[in-house]
Amino acid sequence: MSKVDEYRKKLRAHDEAKQEKAKVFDVRALAANTRQIYTIEDETLGIIRYGLLSAKEVKELNLKEVADDEEKANIVVWAMLRKADAALSYEDFEALPFDTKALLLERMSKVFASFLQRQHPTGSTPTPKPNSQA
């Protein structure tokens, strides 16, 4: 066997191994993620139980009708928490002490970090952050 054939064989074996390891887009498995309850262990808040929202659940939240990004975040976090506790009302969520709610929003925002940035309607752009160097 020539060196070229040997390298072709190794390349083919490498490609086959790479294909086997390749991540497969599995709609059913991803959809199943929205039916599970997840937890975040927080030193201050304790164990936070939540569920991931499906595209349908997000659409049902009517976030396009909410202008304020902070209110959008509140609604999303409440909906995620409600998946783990169906009895959680929005009024109960809104009744949280300010500091606790702020901390909860900070922790939960890591779960959906880029979500709110994608909620801007087509054609609009987020307001640029001021330059901290003057």
Convert the pLDDT of each residue in 8-56 to its tens digit. Answer: 888 888 888 777 767 777 888 888 989 999 999 999 999 999 999 999 9
Angle between helices 98-109 and 69-84 (to 10 degrees): 80
DSSP 120: S
Q: Extract the tokens encoding 59.
A: 């659409």
Weakest-pLDDT range from 41-50, 65-74, 78-87, 108-117: 108-117
Alpha-carbon dihedral angle through residues 73, 74, 77, 78, given to the nearest 10 degrees:
-150
Range 80-103 average pLDDT: 96
- Residue 87 contacts by C-beta under 8 Å, 6 or more apart in sequence? none
Q: What is the pLDDT of residues 97-127, one digit of tens each?
A: 999 999 999 999 888 765 545 444 444 444 5
Q: What is this structure's pTM?
A: 0.68
Model confidence band, residue 130 (pLDDT cutoffs 50, 70, 90): low
Domain ranges of the chain: 27-119
Distances (CA, A) of 99 to 30, 41, 44, 73: 34, 18, 11, 15
Contact between 80 and 50 under an 8 Å Cβ cutoff? The reply is yes
Please report which residue ranges of the chain form alpha helices under DSSP H: 3-21, 27-33, 55-60, 69-84, 90-94, 98-109
